[in-house]
Amino acid sequence: MRKCGKCGGTLVRVPRKFHQKFVYHAVLTCKKCGSREERDQWYLFLFGRTSRCPRCGSFRVEKLRGVDHIDPMYKNPLSYFQKYLGGNLHWCPFCRLQFYDIRQRVPAPKRPPIPDTPPASDAVATPDSGE
């Protein structure tokens, strides 16, 4: 069962209007709160400004230097056409798919560095002299 992101209720599929059929794969509404969720069509990943996995739609793709012969390659003529236009080889870590894309990938967020020194504590434990 699909769950609502706002209240946790169940989502049910509702009929799409004619113009929504070109944009949305499914339109869902919550039984509890009435909020709507839309699922995009598969081909809308082609019109974005950044690289996106063609199978799962994730933006967290990585750039590869060469073809990995273990993971599958996305065998779409559009992907090979982008290769000939100078596109880079990208790899999705979630579905392990390799594909060519001329768009740039989303930059990964920078994590703060881990401090090298342990935190200083005010109370230092000293052994008793035992007298």
pLDDT reported for residue 98? 92
Domain boundaries, the chain: 9-40, 43-108
Give long-range contacts, CB 8 A cutoff, 24+ apart: 102-108.
103/48, 103/49, 103/50, 103/51, 104/50, 104/51, 105/50, 105/51, 105/59, 105/61, 105/62, 105/63, 106/50, 106/51, 106/59, 106/60, 106/61, 108/60
pTM of this structure = 0.55
Q: pLDDT tens per residue, the chain (131 residues)?
A: 678 878 888 888 888 888 888 777 788 888 888 888 877 765 666 677 788 888 887 888 888 888 888 888 888 888 888 889 888 999 898 888 999 988 887 777 777 777 777 666 655 555 665 55
